Amino acid sequence: MSMHTLAFVGLGIGFVLMGAGLYALTLRKPKALPPLPTKSDLREQAALNEETKKLRIGAMAIAGFGVLLALFGFY
């Protein structure tokens, strides 16, 4: 293996691990809503769900870039 191959594979693995870590952060459970939630509680919960969805997409994109970078190192 040449140095270029090792560098690309190492960077790829690093990006995959970063993406996995970011995805793991999104798996935390949100705070439980009170028994009678107000409209602001429901809005906040919806906003947090939307943020979580965007973070998961970003995490998958970072991990996908890492896989492509690692594969690029072998060719």
Task: Report yes or no: 66 and 19 within 8 Å, Cβ to Cβ.
Answer: yes
Tell me the C-alpha distance between 59 and 22, whole Å: 6
Q: Which two tokens stand for residue 41?
A: 């509680």
Residue 25 confidence (pLDDT): 94
Residue 30 confidence (pLDDT): 80
State which residues of the chain have pLDDT below 70.
1
